[in-house]
Structure 1
Amino acid sequence: MPLYNIPLFMALAFLFVTLTIGLCMSQKSTTFRAYAIGTKQFHTATLIATVLATSFGGGFFMRELPKMYAQGILYIFFTVAGGIVRCYIISLLALHMGPFMEHLSTSETIGMIYGQYIRMVTALLTTGCCIGVVAIQINVMSCAIGMCMDTTTPSILTVLATLTLISYAVFGGIRAITITDLFQLATFTIVLPFLLKLLFVKIDQSFLEMIKFLQKEETFQCKNLFKFDKKYWIHLFNHLHWVLSFSPAVIQRFYMSSGPIQAKKVFSRAVLFTAIIWIGIALIALFVFVGNPMLHRKEIWSYILADMSPFYKGYVAISILAMTMSTADSHLQTASIMISHDMVESMRNLQAPPYMHKLRLAKLATLVTGLLAMIVTVYYSDLFALSTFVFEWLCGFFTAIVIPLFILTVLGFRGTTRTAFMGMTTGMVVILIWNHWIKPKIAIDGTIIAVAANGLATMAAHYLLPQPPSTGWAEPDAQQKRMMELIRAFKKYRKNIDLE
């Protein structure tokens, strides 16, 4: 076989193995609950792996690495810190998920408190966000295949990869997605130390020489971390919403856990691995900058892949494919739950018998949302333009409108449909006005402003308007009280050991 066909052969083999694992390891789901969240008997390590595989998509790798290279230490610091803090905040919320662990989705949790209309809006916004994320992953697939395989027509293999992940997501459900996530996580985590070693050999400098070189560059000087100028505050505000930008598919992992304790363990332990992966990506960006500080962002991957053998190019390609597929399949499955479960239930009468064809509708929804994501990539062929559209508008709306209400609900706030509607409307209006008129002038994203406006408007509507007696902050239930007592006892025990 000619050498230039090796990357293509490796990519096809990876897709075949992934599809085989997804279909063979899937459980024949006879109920919608098993298809959506499984049997709640997943091992903690398995859930950690699927959280990491879902969180780190190929879009992060392909998009964040050039930004770290171009914008320097401030962007690296706030991006890495934001990713770690976000995972830690989710782990804190896990302890309060007791009353909602039998639910199937975020929309169901919010809808239980605020009613069917709010549940429908939440499901629509979540679905839009998921489709946008899947579109980014498909775009990254095309970019990776084009770069690593030296071909100008990667569309056929991109379509094949997309149909592969749609296939096992449709037929295998959450079990197939979780098992393939394990395989895909193992595939792409190996590429980080591989690229670090490759770039370290390429630049042929010691760590001390690299540090001295970086300190001569203005954007990479450590003093910028304590230089509270305009640039510092722009980075800070633009990354504050990063802390609260919970992925819909990651939140879905709450409901796959056996209980709040396991969910807490999953996300607490994921914090460490999240830090390791983010630091690895940051180091790759630093090594590339030391090797050649004059690259354009579109030339960075060409520099990384230059002089690389076809076998190694193929491995980089399948690693990026693994990252994209592990993120895309989880978001497809989350969108299918929103459509077949939350939207259908929101439109039906509460006294109506259960919908009999929910499982079939979920499989059809997975197929349709995957095809819609492919259509979006046709209109936004540039990765950076597509990422801007998705994160500024689709995911921006989800974060600004849904996340504040979800956090308040989990923490024990019980409002009415009116208060929720007023908060969500405020968040939507603020992000529209800010991103359209204010952001172009001051370069600060309005998502965190909209999040704050949403939460404040909800609280103001609750305390300023007449409310039913059953609303307000709920007392912790018996399970939450027991968990808090156990945590306090454990902290006291550790303190006593440290004193000894």
Structure 2
Amino acid sequence: MEYLARYFDIDKAIILIFLVFTLIIGIIAGRKTKDTNDYAIADKAYGSPILLLTLSVSLIGGGSTIGEAAQFYSDGLVYLIASIGTPVSILLTALYVTPKFDRRFNGRISVADMIEYFYGYTPSRFAGIIGYFVCLGILSMQCMVMGYLTFIFLEISYSASVCLSVGLLIAYSTFGGIRAITVTNVFQFAMLIVMVPLIASVSVTEAGGLNSIFSSFKTNSHMQILNHPKFFDYLALFLFWSLPFSAFFPPQIQRYLMAKDHKQATRITFLYFF
């Protein structure tokens, strides 16, 4: 009984239930997938609310939560300068990029297909290879993080943690395609919108409140912005992040190709911006 109590307390149970539910929901959602178009872009079947949620979850990851918090902890309020670049980029995307997703791309399911429309077969294959390695890099980092977090919370070996979390991801995405991913994104968004504010509230309370947090900064530079030693570093990062480069990542392009037309793609981007 002590052995069972060690591995199946309430915290571990919540994580395991979340993982199992994600797998079940993904497999059920994708079981009616018919063909390649349905597998890749769900035949443009989803409305704006669902597309907004799957776009949000595809862009909000560990870097937007744990990474942002770590950066503020490390350097202080000056990181606000850089972080503002992200919504600027999203706004520019809504204004100048998504209106271009018109009927020219009907039937296209990837970045490579879009490149083929403009430049032909050979450049499209090159774009496909580049997109593959970009996604492989992103996925590898996510797998490392998922494995590490699972290792911490479930107290199992790191290799087993990676196999568990990545195996689950591969299972439902392989069998269900974008339908499975979209439905699990909605489920994950529901968890995200509840759990992140809840964790933040508990963390602030445990730290003694906001006054205690601000009064315990390691150095006075944490409260500085214009006079911070890294101000120009973060200003440069702001200028870089303000460019709509993120709009050209394969997962985001795929969400836009799932939209019925450019108006819907623009609408969900504006909503994501707000």
Question: TM-score range with shorter-chain normalisation?
Answer: 0.7 to 0.9
Say whether 1:141 aligns with 2:146. yes
Cα shift readout 1:470-491 (whole Å, capped 9, x = no counterpart): xxxxxxxxxxxxxxxxxxxxxx
**Cα distance change on mapping 1:62 and 1:136 into 2, 3 Å:** farther
Q: Secondary structure of the residue that 1:90 maps to in structure 2?
A: helix
Partner of 2:230: 231
C-alpha displacement of 1:255: 0.5
Measured in 2, the distance between the counterparts of 1:41 and 1:76 equals 38
Partner of 1:63: 67
Partner of 1:259: 261
C-alpha displacement of 1:259: 0.4
Measured in 2, the distance between the counterparts of 1:271 and 1:160 equals 34
Specify the code of the residue in structure 1 equivalent to 2:73.
Answer: Y
Deviates more, 1:46-55 or 1:87-96: 87-96
Measured in 2, the distance between the counterparts of 1:156 and 1:206 equals 38
Partner of 1:77: 81
**Cα distance change on mapping 1:27 and 1:90 into 2, 3 Å:** farther
Say whether 1:242 aligns with 2:246. no
Measured in 2, the distance between the counterparts of 1:250 and 1:109 equals 13
The answer for unaligned runs of 5 or more in structure 2 is none
Say whether 1:106 aligns with 2:111. yes
**Cα distance change on mapping 1:216 and 1:161 into 2, 3 Å:** closer
Cα shift readout 1:201-234 (whole Å, capped 9, x = no counterpart): 1122355x6556669721322xx23x4x873222
Q: Secondary structure of the residue that 1:245 maps to in structure 2?
A: helix
Measured in 2, the distance between the counterparts of 1:138 and 1:212 equals 36
Question: Are the aligned partners of 2:151 and 2:161 in contact in 1 as well (CA < 8 Å)?
Answer: no
Specify the code of the residue in structure 2 equivalent to 1:50.
Answer: T
Measured in 2, the distance between the counterparts of 1:5 and 1:259 equals 48
Say whether 1:91 aligns with 2:109. no
C-alpha displacement of 1:116: 2.0
Specify the code of the residue in structure 2 equivalent to 1:183.
Answer: F
Higher relative contact order (CA 8 A, sep 6+): 2
**Cα distance change on mapping 1:193 and 1:3 into 2, 3 Å:** farther
Question: Are the aligned partners of 2:148 and 2:161 in contact in 1 as well (CA < 8 Å)?
Answer: no
Measured in 2, the distance between the counterparts of 1:114 and 1:19 equals 39
Partner of 1:47: 51
C-alpha displacement of 1:82: 1.7
Measured in 2, the distance between the counterparts of 1:236 and 1:161 equals 37
Computing the radius of gyration from Cα coordinates, the structure with the larger value is 1
Measured in 2, the distance between the counterparts of 1:30 and 1:139 equals 33
Measured in 1, the distance between the counterparts of 2:24 and 2:219 equals 51
Partner of 1:409: none
If the length of structure 1 is used for normalisation, what is the TM-score? 0.50
Which residue of the other structure, out of 127, 130, 137, is the alignment partner of 1:122? 127
Question: Are the aligned partners of 1:72 and 1:220 in contact in 2 as well (CA < 8 Å)?
Answer: yes
**Cα distance change on mapping 1:30 and 1:231 into 2, 3 Å:** same
C-alpha displacement of 1:152: 6.0
Measured in 2, the distance between the counterparts of 1:136 and 1:59 equals 11
Measured in 1, the distance between the counterparts of 2:234 and 2:265 equals 31
C-alpha displacement of 1:192: 1.5
Measured in 1, the distance between the counterparts of 2:23 and 2:156 equals 26
Question: Are the aligned partners of 1:62 and 1:140 in contact in 2 as well (CA < 8 Å)?
Answer: no
Specify the code of the residue in structure 1 equivalent to 2:220.
Answer: E
Partner of 2:223: 220
Question: Are the aligned partners of 2:150 and 2:165 in contact in 1 as well (CA < 8 Å)?
Answer: no
**Cα distance change on mapping 1:171 and 1:182 into 2, 3 Å:** same
Partner of 1:167: 171
Cα shift readout 1:361-412 (whole Å, capped 9, x = no counterpart): xxxxxxxxxxxxxxxxxxxxxxxxxxxxxxxxxxxxxxxxxxxxxxxxxxxx
Cα shift readout 1:11-50 (whole Å, capped 9, x = no counterpart): 3222221111111122422221111101212011100100
Partner of 2:30: 26
Q: Secondary structure of the residue that 2:44 maps to in structure 1?
A: coil
**Cα distance change on mapping 1:206 and 1:162 into 2, 3 Å:** closer
1:344-359 matched pairs, under 5 angstroms:
none
Specify the code of the residue in structure 2 equivalent to 1:5.
Answer: F
C-alpha displacement of 1:157: 3.2
Cα shift readout 1:110-142 (whole Å, capped 9, x = no counterpart): 221122222122111111110011011111112
Indicate the percent of aligned positions where both proteins have the same amino acid.
Answer: 25
Measured in 2, the distance between the counterparts of 1:125 and 1:271 equals 27
**Cα distance change on mapping 1:236 and 1:117 into 2, 3 Å:** farther
Measured in 1, the distance between the counterparts of 2:203 and 2:16 equals 27
Cα shift readout 1:235-290 (whole Å, capped 9, x = no counterpart): 22234332333132012111000101111111100112xxxxxxxxxxxxxxxxxx
Q: Secondary structure of the residue that 1:2 maps to in structure 2?
A: helix
**Cα distance change on mapping 1:218 and 1:154 into 2, 3 Å:** same
Question: Are the aligned partners of 2:50 and 2:186 in contact in 1 as well (CA < 8 Å)?
Answer: yes
